[in-house]
Amino acid sequence: MNIRSLPIKNLIRRPGRTMSLIFLTAMLALSVFGGSIVVMSLRQGLNSLESRLGADIIVVPSSAQSKVSFQNMLLQGTTGAFYMDAENLNRVREVEGVEVAAPQVFLASLKADCCSVKIQVIGFDPETDFFVCPWIEQSYSQDLGELDVVTGCKVEAGVGEIIRIYDERCKVVGRLAPTGTGLDTAVYCNLSTMKILLKAAEEKGISHKVTSNPDDDVISAIYVKVKEGYDIGQVNSKIQGHTRKCSAVRTKSMITDVSDSLTEISATVTLLIGAIWVLALVILLIAFAMIAGERKREFAVLRLLGISRSMLSGLILKESALCSLAGGVLGVLVAAMIVFPFTTLIETKLGLPYLRPALPYALLLAGLSLTATVIIGAAASIWASFRLSRVDPGIVLREGN
């Protein structure tokens, strides 16, 4: 008999016990890896939203604020179309302390033939924009032509494909990098393309006019950057007083709302992981204690055969480490099968920015989860291995008779 292969033979000999231990440690690994990925994705999503917004203040029509449609549009990708007089852009630019004011126009498409889903179309001014342009430059370096569009990463249209918006054939010239926000589900174009699309929508009976004059231009939002040295709150108040039927929102307050929700979810996930770990650890301790009682005779025989106490301790530790390793690998794989393919579903259900970590980070997390599981699994068996290594073979074997 080879002492090195004994742990594996022991595990194979008792498949029920081995499977139970593997299941328990798999639960540990699943909870810690799955939970960490979700929390990390939420944090990355928030960082992405912060860096993507870039503006200090966003001016939207009062109607958008009352419907909370703007925040939902940014976070969840719900379609929204609200308009204000384009004259407000000049009024905002006149306010002292405003460095840049970039307009955007929103349009919700009709349901497409393919998928019964409305798409948010966002028109921006390439001359002044600091919100979409830096993002687009990462994937498309040329100027957008008439009826050229760039799609968010969640719009399943490849570069060169044609998408129809209000019967206008728009050519996809680029796809944007993921942000983990509602912006990933939108289609972006310049203002001249947007004018064509608004006209096409008008012909379909979808009005976007806010004044009686049909030639008046409309915009949906103004992104404002405040000059250095100026107080954002004061500039915000001035804009509020200077514009008509508009609400000026500080982006910081919007991000704070999201951050609060994220903190709550992170705390809940962490609490759940903690509870699962405590529960699994207690069950593992009980399981190993029971195993120690059950295997006294087996270890007494091994002692009689001349195996030292330290070798017996090592045997138990090896068995538990092997079980924990198998359970850890299984748990990490199951967690990966849940959190990676269903990323979009999790993001939609949470309604918060959610950006999956890059592969190296995910692999690092998987490695850490696996290590923690093996250490905890082996640690839970230390007491049992100590007790078993100290059995008196004579007493134990006599008890059996």
Residues 310-339 that bind other proteins (CB under 8 A): 337
For position 392 contacting other proteins by CB under 8 A, the verdict is no
Distances (CA, A) of 90 to 94, 122, 244: 6, 20, 12
Q: How many residues bind other proteins (CB under 8 A)?
A: 21
Cβ within 8 Å of residue 384, ≥6 positions away: 288, 289, 291, 292, 316
For position 341 contacting other proteins by CB under 8 A, the verdict is yes
Neighbours of 230 (CB within 10 A): 16
Beta carbon nearer to other proteins, 120 or 220: 120
Stretch that binds other proteins, among 5-13, 193-201, 251-259, 340-348 (CB under 8 A): 340-348
For position 12 contacting other proteins by CB under 8 A, the verdict is no
Tokens of 128: 């002044």
CB 165 within 8 A of CB 34: no
Task: Name 180's bridge partners.
Answer: none
Member of 94, 96, 293, 342 binding other proteins (CB under 8 A): 342
CB 139 within 8 A of CB 176: yes
Beta carbon nearer to other proteins, 1 or 359: 359
For position 167 contacting other proteins by CB under 8 A, the verdict is no
Member of 6, 19, 108, 112 binding other proteins (CB under 8 A): 112
Member of 3, 68, 114, 375 binding other proteins (CB under 8 A): 114
- Indicate the helix (H) or strand (E) that contains 347: helix 343-350
Residues 189-218 that bind other proteins (CB under 8 A): none
Question: Mask 59-88, x = binds other proteins (CB under 8 A)?
Answer: ------------------x-----------
Stretch that binds other proteins, among 66-74, 150-158, 354-362, 385-393 (CB under 8 A): 150-158
Cβ within 8 Å of residue 368, ≥6 positions away: none
- How far apart are CB 163 and other proteins at their closest, in Å? 8
Member of 115, 127, 169, 241 binding other proteins (CB under 8 A): 115
Member of 19, 108, 153, 206 binding other proteins (CB under 8 A): 153
- Indicate the helix (H) or strand (E) that contains 380: helix 359-380
Distances (CA, A) of 170 to 125, 145, 187, 285: 18, 10, 10, 63
**Residue 293 carries which DSSP code?**
H
- Counting Cα atoms < 13 Å in the Cβ hemisphere of 87 gives 10
Query: Which residue do the tokens 């074997």 mark?
Result: 397
Residues that bind other proteins (CB under 8 A): 77, 112, 114-117, 119, 153-157, 163, 184-185, 337, 341-342, 344-345, 348
